[in-house]
Chains A and B, each alone.
Chain A
Amino acid sequence: MELLVSSAIGILTAVGIYLMLRGRSFPIILGITFLSYAVNLFLFSMGRLTIDAPPIYQPGGTTYADPVPQALVLTAIVISFGMSALIVVMALRGYLETGSDHTRLSAMEDETGQSTSQADTPAAPRNGDRA
């Protein structure tokens, strides 16, 4: 069972990182979700695996799952929602403002045909020509 869980964590991590390394905002959001699953499971597994022994106190009970990682993961789940939501909204707003969901500045400029860094250089002829 431990092997199954740890390999699942590994797979989720791999998918999460692979998606996060894509150059567009939506795959990155999905990647973050995958990585959150992986991290939550990983944290949870720090309490070792226990079957049929929830950490709910019973008189006379002897075996319980470790409640500490569970408490940590519970808040982590809720917080990762907050984080995902913020990133989703930032991606959305960024897309609406720039017209591109690229996360690489040069690719974004190529796509939208305008320099997003006018403040630094007075003119960027490379892109200005195209616009």
Chain B
Amino acid sequence: MMLWLVPLLPMIGALLPPMLIRTGRSACANTAAFVSIVTLGLLLSRARDVFNSEVEIFTLPWVQQIGLNFSFRLDPLSLFFASMILIIGILVIIYARYYLNRTDPMGRFYAYLLLFQGAMLGVVLSDNLILLLIFWEMTSLTSFLLIGFWRKEKEARRGARMALVVTGGGGLALIGGLVLLGQIAGSYEISHILEQGDVIKASPYYVPALILILLGAFTKSAQFPFHFWLPHAMAAPTPVSAYLHSATMVKAGIFLMARLWPALAGTETWFLIVAPVGLITMAMAAWIAMFKDDLKGLLAFSTISHLGLVTMLLGFGTPMAAVVAVFHILNHATFKAALFMSAGIVDHEAGTRNMKRLGGLLWIMPITGTLSLIAAAAMAGVPFLNGFLSKEMMLEEAAHTVYPGLPWLFPVGVTLAALFSVAYSARFAIATFLGPKRDDYPSSKPHDPPIGMWLPVALLVAPVIAIGIMPQQVVGKTLALIAGAVIGGPLPDYYLALWHGLTPALFMSFIAFAGGALLYVYLPRLVGQLATVPRPDGRALFEATLDISVKTSRRIIGVLHAGSLTRYLRITFVAILLFGFYAIWTTPAYEGERPMLPVNASALVAWFTLVAISIMVVIRQSERLLALILTSAVGVVVALTFIQFSAPDLALTQISVDVVTTILMLLALNLLPKKTPDEDSLYARWRDGIVAVTAGFGVAALSYGIMTRNGPTDIAEYYIATAKPGGGGTNVVNVILVDFRGFDTFSEIIVLGIAAISIFALLDVKLKDAAVRRLRAMLPKEDASDAHPLLLVVATRVLLPLSMLVGVYLFLRGHNQPGGGFVAGLVIAIGLIMQYIASGYTWGAKRLHLDPQTAIGAGVAIAGVAGLVPLLFDDPFLTTTFTYVELPIVGEFELASAMIFDLGVALTVIGVMVLTLSRLARVEQRVDPAPDTRHAMDIPLEKAVPPAAELIATSTDGKD
């Protein structure tokens, strides 16, 4: 079976409700329910095999290096939890259909709910610890969305945040714990880990692993002292509370403890930690529940108390206690979900959940009332209901469990807790449903809700009674199977029955009922006095911790994020320097054995030029235009260096890019201040100068050290040897670009395209207010008398076809001789840009039938398609093929598919250059869309439209 589909189906199905909400609320709810029902069907189709004691495991390797596999496990325990998640999920979905208001976004609600359901299914079905962690975190995230569903309400947001912080924080600890566990056991597969119990318990890392895992489980299952988030999570819509807090979310921690029981439980450490935490949680939460006036608040603390009960039983570490734990999980899920839904019905009908304003509802809502009373009785542990059975068995276990040094702790503790639970159950039942009918309910006429709302409750109450009367017949076999899966060994000898004779448990139960009844009667009088007894309040601590961390973070950010780029850069440079110096210091000698090349005169001249320029730039940097021109001269020297040292391709590229860069900066400088104010103190200059010179020395020493050594040459030799036979070209640099490392080049042109489009986005926005004012101030006050000099216009137009020809020539020969797509694109782009410069933007844009954005897109697309075609022939991405073609006059030349790729490169480069420069050249158009044809010294090759007409036509809009 496709076991992996079970968790994934609800997640995929989560897409449906938001899409279908337009077709109606019922369709939306039905789809959500349908998804869950299909998933349940899928799950139950394998139930029979599981009942025949077959464990199904599905494994798909995922990231094996870290032990992460996509593996799932279906055994009685996971089947039990998964069915519980799905069955209660379906009921909640039906119930929510009637519960949610018209104004609530139902599609979103069901999407969250299904996502959560899928995540929970993943937790219980995972057979891999890391996979389990992933799903575990997903439950934290999706429950955050569910709890905060009414996002406008402050309480909902706070509750959601608290739940996320607490369970997410526990999740962090859990990651550590499970990784430790996996390392101890030598595998992350749960199936394997469960067999390694003895190895794990003997490991020195057992205790840290156990504590970390328990932190995760306790936070999730709201165990003391992490219980405080659960009551605040009650700000969620009631269906969510019913789902998260009866059947699913909080059970995840319990599930984890049950799942890993064979591997972790049974040691003294386990007992000493887990059992008391469970007992404290159970008693304390039951105590607090008695004083809650809010129905959901009472149920929330009751849930914590019952979770504590299960935790305590698992903590006992005996097989029998594990059986009881499983039995109680099952019983609690049924009656607690029913009670949550009843609370929601009461809230819905009577308009309040405050017990002080309720009472006598049984008489006006007989169906809801009866069902709720039965469920509440089960919660109290009344005989003939399922709650009674598991509680009796729990008392029996606790009666003869001895805590070292405090032999009375467990018997007395559980009796007290049972006593409190009788009292709060009585309060829930009596204050809400019994007593005289009132006529001051906040909502005028409460009555039984539509069947869709009470039917789920009825379906849950049915097993409460059935199990209560005939436990062995109804759940005997199921329980044995599940308990067997938890224990992972032989089952203890037990029998489920109503009557076990006069046992200590019966006696304790009797005390609990009598005491509970007494407590209930005196409760109103006690409230005033007892409420002052200090209760552990995690919330205050939580808020305080959160407050402190927020303040500390602010302070750290205030220091680090000082809003000074210069400072960040200085820190970065100094840090790099320190590392670099450590490296150079610890290197024995940095002059290598490779003989140096002799210095020639031209190199010396170039070197001195470079030094002179550099000094000039530093001294005269406040004159920006001068500094810019000097900088571009450096580019020429660099290009000469490339020529000198056998890199013709680089020289070509450098010189073309230099042209474009200089034009770009000139255009920008046009709109920026022309001078840098002399504002740096002498100290700042010296400080930065020292940093810069030191860095310069470091880099020089490093490159000198490398250049005087012989390095590995095998990659270079391989490329040179393979370029011709493998790539079909003799220009090895180009073959590397378009073939060997074509994927790099492909990414490069994408990056270039993104940069150009970002520039487009930055400059295409209409400027506003102050920006417009500044731009106007920056623009030259008077137009140049001759904006488009005739000489320049003529020269550039003559040059255009020439530059095109050179571009095509460089492109075609690029595979064998210096050239290629990058250079060809640059040369053509320069030819085009020259037209804009000489004849004006409007003139150029009108005549260039190439939209630069389209060129970028087409270029990347062509390169991509050229790379994809080989896939059709089962070759890897970007494989090239080539052939030789004989053409008249040109002679034989080679046609490689890499050329198509190179064409894409060239097109992208053209698009990027033209787009960037043309946008920058007409920033002022963002302010005044005035035509710049006014002074266009256009050569009237044909009878042109008189400029005046154009002026009028375009200047009517936007000119003020």
Chain A: residues with CB nearer than 8 A to chain B?
A: 1-30, 33-34, 37-38, 40-42, 44-58, 64-68, 70-71, 73-75, 77-86, 88-93, 95-97, 99, 101, 103-106
Contacts and interface: CB of A to CB of B under 8 A. Distances in A.
B527 interface: no
B716 A47 contact: yes
Nearest to A96: B771
16 contacts: A1-B600, A7-B607, A8-B607, A12-B610, A40-B654, A48-B706, A67-B720, A67-B736, A68-B716, A74-B650, A78-B822, A86-B758, A95-B774, A96-B774, A97-B771, A103-B565
A86 B730 CA distance: 35
Q: Is the interface of A mostly helix, strand, loop or mixed?
A: helix
A4 B607 contact: yes
Given A11-B611, A70-B733, A71-B736, A40 B638 contact: yes
Interface string B632-662: 0011001001101111111001100100110
Interface stretch (B221-229, B334-342, B696-704): B696-704
B650 A1 contact: no
A73 B732 contact: no
A47 B720 CA distance: 14
A9 to B, nearest CB: 5
Contacts of B923: 92, 96
Contacts of A29: 665, 668
Given A18-B618, A26-B676, A49 B759 contact: no
B724 A57 contact: yes
Contacts of A46: 703, 706, 711
Interface in B688-724: 688-689, 691-693, 695-704, 706-708, 710-711, 713, 715-716, 719-720, 723-724
A17 B688 CA distance: 8
B711 A48 contact: yes
Interface of B: 562-567, 569-570, 573, 594, 596-600, 603-604, 607, 610-611, 614, 617-618, 621, 624, 627-628, 631, 634-635, 638, 641-642, 644-650, 653-654, 657, 660-661, 664-665, 668-669, 671-673, 676, 679-680, 688-689, 691-693, 695-704, 706-708, 710-711, 713, 715-716, 719-720, 723-724, 730-733, 736-737, 741, 744-745, 748, 751-752, 755-756, 758-759, 762-763, 767, 770-771, 774-775, 816-818, 822, 826, 909, 912, 916, 920, 923
A77 to B, nearest CB: 5
Contact of B741 (A17, A55, A71, A106): A71
Contacts, number: 311
A34 B695 CA distance: 13
B812 to A, nearest CB: 15
Contacts of A40: 638, 654
A79 B751 contact: yes
Contacts of A23: 566, 679-680
Contact of B646 (A4, A53, A105): A53
Given A78-B748, A89-B668, A104 B567 contact: yes
Nearest to A76: B748
B688 A2 contact: no
Contact of B733 (A17, A55, A85, A106): A55
B305 to A, nearest CB: 45
A1 B732 CA distance: 25
B536 to A, nearest CB: 37
Given A38-B699, A56-B731, A104 B566 contact: yes
A85 B562 CA distance: 26
B312 to A, nearest CB: 49
B634 A54 contact: no
A26 B672 contact: yes
B708 A54 contact: no
Contacts of A34: 614, 617, 631, 634
Contacts of B704: 2-3, 6-7
Nearest to B688: A21
Contacts of A51: 597, 644-646
B688 A105 contact: no
B695 to A, nearest CB: 5
A51 B563 CA distance: 48
A85 B920 CA distance: 10
3 closest cross-chain pairs (CB), A and B: A10-B700, A105-B563, A14-B696
B748 A77 contact: no
Nearest to A50: B646
B645 A50 contact: yes
Contacts of B566: 21-23, 103-104
A92 to B, nearest CB: 5
B575 to A, nearest CB: 13
Contacts of B775: 96
Nearest to B773: A99
